Amino acid sequence: MDIRYRITGGSPLQGEVHISGSKNAALPLIAASLLADGETVLTNVPRLRDTEMMLQILEYLGAETTFQDGTVRIRANNIRSRAIPGEFSSKLRASIVLLGPLLSRFGVVEMAYPGGDVIGKRPVHAHIIALEQMGAEDASNEHMLHLQGTLHAGHVILPEFSVTATENAIMAAALIPGETRIDLAAAEPHVQEVARMVQKMGAEVEGIGTHTLIIRGRKDLKPTTHAVPFDYLEAGTMAVASLVTRGKVRLHGVDYEPLLSFLDTIKRYGGVWKFDPAERTLFVDGELSFMNAMQVRTSIHPGFPTDLQAPIGVVMTQAKGVSRLFERLYEGRLGYLYELEKMGAHVEILNAHQALIIGPTPLRGRMVASNDLRAGTAMVLAALCAEGETTVNDVRYIERGYDRLEEKLTALGATMEKIEVEDARP
């Protein structure tokens, strides 16, 4: 069954919306629950395909889980490390973050290679290199990841600023007595949250938010209660929706720091917004915003987030002048620009990483593809400001990462519905 969004554009979005918990934080926090016996409680967890799949994997490993009203309870007393088949890992790229906690706790971990979005190569070598430096032996083959061995504290130098490899190293080190230093660590907000959670469980962590972490682990970590932070990527997406529809939207439950680079970019090129730290609200005034040509380069945190590159590409179609887009992290993330061209955008793709977008150009409703999570969301944003009706195909990608996106946009005044069409593919 192909699930689609049918959207009629042209209506300025108006109103208020509460931003959900972060998927990118929730998934490794769920994995971290495996580090301790007893009941771990996570609040503000978004109900998504990905979070539900991660809980299914934990149940397969022997954990007891419940998920009700945004609260997840996990009892990891009876888990064991068993081979995770492709029916689980192929559907969830983030299952890779189970490597660290399972290997550290049981001395062995095996899983089919994780799947997920097709947005360029996401090799697993950074994970293997990190865990090998902690004493793991790599016995993987072409079908299965297999790591084994007793881990020890030491010095880990990551080969790249990998978010999930950093999370794996943090979780593995938290359960190892002694001091582990992790250099070239990623510092994204969700990485920081994993460090804070293992800290609450009993590990000592220094350097949170920097590219060097010092972790003093212990074997007897305790379960804890932890709140999943807001999804700054959803907040950025809703801010873009306000800008491109010339609307007025107030976002509740947000913090400024994770959005620093994004909001600075918006303001620098003509966007109008106001943040209230006391109320944790962000008001984006698309009606008063007049966007000019932009230059955006994605980067590791605290630079411009790669996951907001596609939404900002939609803003560029409505900005005055020649905008320059440089995707520095993934070679496959500009594919959505071909779909924008179908809608009337003036795009020149220079190579796999760079493009020019000339605007403003009126967009027209078309049938477009949702090639991955962020690209599909960009198509929704484009549809909201396009003339006529747009159909966005295969929105299962989008629903993997956005909590009730259709419901929230409709509440803001979008003309949007979800439809199901029989999938003609064999």
In a domain, 426, yes or no: no
Domain boundaries, position 103: 23-227
Mean pLDDT computed over 199-213: 97
Q: Indicate if 132 and 152 belong to the same structural domain.
A: yes
Q: Summarize the chain as % helix, strand, coil (round to 5).
A: 35, 25, 40
Cα 426 off chain centre by: 30
- H helices within 110-184, ranges in order? 125-132, 163-174
The average confidence (pLDDT) of the chain is 93
Is the pLDDT at 121 greater than 80, yes or no? no
* Distance in angstroms (rounded) separating the CA atoms of residues 170 and 166: 6
Q: Angle CA(185)–CA(44)–CA(54) in degrees, nearest 5? A: 65
**N residues, the chain:** 426
Q: Indicate if 144 and 176 belong to the same structural domain.
A: yes
424 — pLDDT class (breaks 50, 70, 90): low
Q: Indicate if 15 and 143 belong to the same structural domain.
A: no
pTM listed for this prediction: 0.92
Q: Model confidence over 241-289: pLDDT tens digits? A: 999 999 999 999 999 999 999 999 999 999 999 999 999 999 999 999 9
Number of domains in the chain: 2
Residue 302 has a CB neighbour count (10 Å cut-off) of 14
Mean pLDDT computed over 27-50: 96
Is the pLDDT at 169 greater than 60, yes or no? yes
* Distance in angstroms (rounded) separating the CA atoms of residues 133 and 410: 49
- CATH number of the domain that residue 404 is part of: 3.65.10.10
Is the pLDDT at 179 greater than 80, yes or no? yes
Q: Which long-range contacts (CB under 8 A, 24 or more apart) does 91-95 make?
A: 91/53, 91/115, 92/50, 92/53, 92/54, 92/57, 92/116, 93/117, 93/122, 94/24, 94/27, 94/28, 94/50, 94/54, 94/164, 95/53, 95/54, 95/57
The one-letter code for the residue type at 218 is: R
Q: Indicate if 282 and 153 belong to the same structural domain.
A: no
Active site residue 372: no
120 — pLDDT class (breaks 50, 70, 90): very low
The catalytic position among 37, 50, 117, 307 is 117
In a domain, 155, yes or no: yes
Is the pLDDT at 118 greater than 60, yes or no? no
Q: Kindly list the distances between the CA atom of residue 130 and the CA atoms of 164, 171, 256, in Å, as whole numbers in the listed order.
A: 11, 12, 31
Q: Angle CA(393)–CA(229)–CA(162) in degrees, nearest 5? A: 70
Mean pLDDT computed over 33-43: 97
* Unique residue bearing structure tokens 């509460």: 18
Q: Indicate if 50 and 13 belong to the same structural domain.
A: no
Whole-number pLDDT of residue 36: 96
Mean pLDDT computed over 210-222: 97
In a domain, 214, yes or no: yes
Q: Model confidence over 295-313: pLDDT tens digits? A: 999 999 999 999 999 999 9
Q: Indicate if 153 and 184 belong to the same structural domain.
A: yes
Q: Which secondary-structure segment (H or E) carries 199?
A: helix 189-200
Whole-number pLDDT of residue 370: 85
Encoded tokens for 360: 């403003």
* Distance in angstroms (rounded) separating the CA atoms of residues 77 and 369: 44
Q: Indicate if 52 and 135 belong to the same structural domain.
A: yes
